[in-house]
Amino acid sequence: MALTHGSLFTGIGGFDLGFERVGIRTLWQVECDPYCLNVLERHWPDVQRYTDIRTFLDERPLSPDILSGGFPCQDISVAGKGAGITGERSGLWTYFHRAISVLRPRYVVVENVSALLFRGMGRVIGDLSVVGYDAEWEIIPASAVGAPHKRERTFLIAYPQGQQTDRIFQQRLWRDYRASHQTPHASYHRSQRRQGSRTQTLPRFNAFSWCENLRSLEDLRNRPDLPQPLVCRVNDGISRRLGMLGNAVVPQIAEEIGRMIMAVERNKP
């Protein structure tokens, strides 16, 4: 039986795409940004969408097996003003917590910046415990799945207390994955990209400066050694597309987490 997924703070669907790749079906999505909604409508036209995290439970959405979400990081990130998880935007965690208590999913997957560890993790773990969930977490950078940059993020998996006898992030599948990618903290100057059953090591280059050295799109087309697709800053600001990509969960990480959850389900007595 296929697992189902409810998507909070969906963005452009990073969790949804990653889970879909391992056979997990998304039942509904919650997102308010008009640009993101257009993206979701194009790629998931048959999925129910809600636009307000504060009220969507009033419409009685179906309870999923997995509830995921990368709640806003602006007040938690070291790039912000440091209001923390009680800030105006990151404080929307309260509604994530409420959704968990009402929907009672078998698994909860939370994503946020690495600074969550010292600007709100205690609150998250405490809130999960109050509604009867245990949790475990890892810091996983985008470089662990082939990206040419670090971009460390906190990924937390929670489940009803007593449900798991073995920690998901300690199971053999995760250990093998870490070994095959050097470690989740592998140098982003030597990141890897998986292609089917093969692993391709990307060439060594400075991921933070190469974009500045390209003088035109023609230069870009003549650099097959660089990972694709490429979205760069331009001289009139940051494109809308770049902003959405920057906020998105890396689908390949979601895919690996989905694969681990599926393996746990298959191994249950």
Q: Of 58, 16, 56, 21, which Cα lies nearest the Cα of 40?
A: 16
Q: Read off the amino acid at residue 267.
A: N
> Mind telling me the catalytic residues?
73
What DSSP line would sit under the chain, residue for residue? ---EEEEES-TTTHHHHHHHTTTPEEEEEE---HHHHHHHHHH-TTSEEES-TTTGGGG-PPPPSEEEE----TTTSTTS---GGGSTTGGGHHHHHHHHHHH--SEEEEEEEGGGGTTTHHHHHHHHHHTTEEEEEEEEEGGGGT-SS--EEEEEEEEETTS-SS-GGGSHHHHHHHHHTS-TT--GGG-EEEETTEEEEPPP--TTTHHHH--SHHHHHT-TTS-SS----BTTB--HHHHHHHHSPPHHHHHHHHHHHHHHHHH--
